[in-house]
Amino acid sequence: MAEQTTLKRGRIGTTALVFMIIAASAPLTVLAGGAPTNFAVSGLLGLPISYLFLGAVLILFAVGYCAMSSRVHNAGAFYAYISQGLGPRHGIAAALLALVSYNMLQIGLYGLFGFSLSAAIATWTGMVLPWWMVGAVGWIFVAVVGISNVDLSAKVLGVLVVLEFLVVIVIMGIALFNAPEGVSSVTLRSTDFFVPGIGVLLAFSIAAFMGFESGAIYSEETKDPKRTVSRATYIAVAVIAVFYALSTWAFSMGIGPSNVISQAREHGPDLVFFWLSDFSPLLADVAHLLFVTSILAALLAFHNAAARYFFALGRAGVLPVFLGKLGRNGAPVAGSTVQSLVGFVTVAVFAVAGVNSSMGDLFPVITLFTWFSTAAAFGLVFLMAITSLTVLVWFRRDHHGFSLFTRVIAPATATAALGIIAVLILINFDIMIGEESPQVMIFIMPGIIIGTGVLGALWSLRFNDPVETHTAVTEPEHSPTVEPHPITAR
């Protein structure tokens, strides 16, 4: 029997994929963690508008991205697209950059998860546990579910995402019915958005969307690769942008526009729970619990993405071939296991480094979470800009029946906008990692991202005429699947 070399098809429908994409963006985490931080650091009230603005930019990105995904099916998404458009050597560089970025996003979340669960347990029981000890609970859960088939991941993520939406909707309702300054459009005014400091606002806000592009990673496993990925991506981006804008607007009404920035600076990520406890301590506890599970959902979503990148690169021969092995259930077991091991080792290093740290309980948040997630956001935004450029080049060779807007206008606009946002993240990196972090990290963390791309370009030189493997390139009608040979070393 021939060895299975493609992920099991037909397991993921549009609804399941939407949940998996939204889980990576973690709606409750954004409202409770991201929004107060953004208000506090940027000092601007235009946060809700930033989500709508970035949603529009990412929809433009999705136009070309999804059009290409309907023709190119591969678990290595960015890798496959850039290989097809700019050439395999560029694809290898992008592949390693994507692999490192997704791993950094996923592993960084263990710092936030461990801190949040430890704080919640201390609040509810008075028992103080180390962040890395409770973080191990999340690691075990992700490691076990990650090697299961994707059906289980989709079901788990679906339940967690629905619960997140429900609690955020309840918070919105309480905020609007108890608005101390009344309900207004103060935080929706353009004059609070197009002002100095917009770079910080956008740099922080784009992190809330990270993971939306991951739909294409599951293209081999969808029921209809030509339509499922594009539908799910459009739906997810629209839902994320509108929901984030509405929830942050409603929450700012609940605190009061004149007080939300000062309150965010005083209470930080605890602001939502502190405010909510005035109305219902029980609901505040439930929200806190779901905040923790929302981080867990994001951990699982990014784990799946990283595991599939390991699989795609192992299958192509870019990384050791054992990573391209599938389990009997059709899941990328080798890639999932390696991702879990990388996470375990990294968390262990930070656990040792944090002993007796002057940062106290906030050590895993200030270091592991902030450093890794900010660097990863820079890497993924940069990759999206390159991917939009790739779409332009790919469609220039053959329009594949798509319109001028899809082939040129949308991807060109997205390339420019995402390129600017990547530069803004780089310029404001010192602000984003906070004054508590050593100044040297301003150079080290972006350096890891840039260095990975350079290393990938050098790594590609060891291959003889590298070609993408197991990338299905299809046309509107039933043309045959194209699967080139694996890459071979010199």
Quote the DSSP letter at residue 190: G
Mean confidence (pLDDT) of the chain = 82
pLDDT band at 22 (very low <50, low <70, confident <90, very high): confident
For 201, residues 6+ apart whose C-beta sits below 8 A from its C-beta are 38, 42, 44, 46, 47, 50, 193
Q: Tokens at residue 480, please? A: 């045959």
Predicted confidence at residue 478, as pLDDT, reads 42
pLDDT of residue 1 exceeding 50, the answer is no
For the question of whether the overall pTM of this predicted structure is more than 0.85, the answer is: no
C-beta separation of 203 from 381 below 8 A: no
pLDDT of residue 477 exceeding 50, the answer is no
Per residue in 62-87, pLDDT tens? 888 888 877 766 555 677 778 777 88
C-beta separation of 76 from 6 below 8 A: no
- Report how far apart, in Å, the C-alpha atoms of 26 and of each of 52, 78, 163, 413, 463 are: 17, 22, 11, 27, 39
Q: Tokens at residue 137, please? A: 């609970």
pLDDT band at 157 (very low <50, low <70, confident <90, very high): confident
pLDDT band at 176 (very low <50, low <70, confident <90, very high): very high
Tell me the C-alpha distance between 349 and 355, whole Å.
Answer: 11
Give how far the C-alpha of residue 475 lies from the chain's centroid of Cα atoms, to the nearest Å: 30
Predicted confidence at residue 91, as pLDDT, reads 83
Predicted confidence at residue 466, as pLDDT, reads 52
pLDDT of residue 352 exceeding 80, the answer is yes
In three-state secondary structure terms, 473 is: strand
Q: Is 26 left (phi over 0), alpha (psi -120 to 50) or beta?
A: left
Closest CA to 244 of 186, 180, 171: 171
Q: Mean of the pLDDT values across residues 367-382?
A: 89
In three-state secondary structure terms, 357 is: coil
C-beta separation of 213 from 20 below 8 A: no
Report the DSSP beta bridge partners of residue 472.
73
pLDDT of residue 415 exceeding 60, the answer is yes
Q: What is the CATH number that goes with domain 14-464?
A: 1.20.1740.10
**What DSSP string runs through 401-415?**
T--HIIIIIHHHHHH
Residue 19's φ and ψ, nearest 5 degrees, are -60, -40
Predicted confidence at residue 457, as pLDDT, reads 82
For 176, residues 6+ apart whose C-beta sits below 8 A from its C-beta are 183, 250, 253, 254
Tell me the C-alpha distance between 126 and 304, whole Å.
Answer: 34
Predicted confidence at residue 83, as pLDDT, reads 78
Predicted confidence at residue 473, as pLDDT, reads 52
Predicted confidence at residue 467, as pLDDT, reads 47
- CA dihedral sign of residues 273, 275, 278, 279: negative
Tell me the C-alpha distance between 283 and 289, whole Å.
Answer: 10
Predicted confidence at residue 139, as pLDDT, reads 94
C-beta separation of 236 from 212 below 8 A: yes
How many C-beta neighbours within 10 Å does residue 458 have? 11
Per residue in 246-283, pLDDT tens? 999 999 999 999 999 999 888 877 788 889 888 888 88
Q: Hey, which of 13-17, 321-325, 419-423, 459-463 has the most confident mean pLDDT?
A: 419-423
Predicted confidence at residue 36, as pLDDT, reads 86
Cβ-count burial 392-402 (b if 16+ within 10 Å, e if not) = bebbeeeebeb
Tell me the C-alpha distance between 141 and 117, whole Å.
Answer: 14
